[in-house]
Amino acid sequence: MATRRGFGTLRRLPSKRWQATYVGPDLQRHSAPHTFGSKMDAEVWLAQERTLASGEEWVAPRRRGEIAERLAPPTFGEYAGQWLADRSLKPRTREGYEHLLRRYLEPEFGELLVADLTPALVRRW
């Protein structure tokens, strides 16, 4: 049975978990990205969503992950791959750069965030 509240709705599922939904500023029903083990956890999520929905830059819960992924800082490997793809290079030059990147740079710096790459780290390498 659903529990009606001032903002949003809580529903206890047959699995004994709680589902939280609300109607957003876009007049569409939005669900939490997962169910909750306790009613209190679901209420906290709804309270946070109410705060977000009252702001001017509200984004639907399912789109937040996409936006966060796009805004996530790139790793050195991602940046280097994109940098290479954006260049118009002669085939042998591209091949040489790809070899250097694959053989020497990615094993050492590939998973490192670009923001964490420092001159001292490169000198030590």
pLDDT of residue 40: 93
Query: Domain residues of the chain, as ranges?
Result: 2-70, 76-124
Closest CA to 32 of 1, 62, 7: 62
Exposed, middle or buried by CB within 10 Å (0-12, 13-18, 19+), for 117? Answer: middle
Residue 18 belongs to what H/E stretch?
A: strand 18-23
Separation CA 46–CA 33 (nearest Å)? 12
DSSP state, residue 73: P
Collapsed DSSP state (helix, strand, coil) of residue 63? helix
Pairing of strands 29-31, 2-4: unpaired
Backbone angles phi, psi at 20, to 5 degrees: -115, 135
Q: What is the pLDDT of residues 84-97, one digit of tens each?
A: 999 999 999 999 99
Q: What is the pLDDT of residues 46-84, one digit of tens each?
A: 999 898 888 878 888 877 766 556 667 888 998 899 899
pLDDT of residue 115: 86
pLDDT of residue 117: 87
Report the percent of the chain where pLDDT is more than 70.
Answer: 90
Average pLDDT over every residue of 106-117 = 89
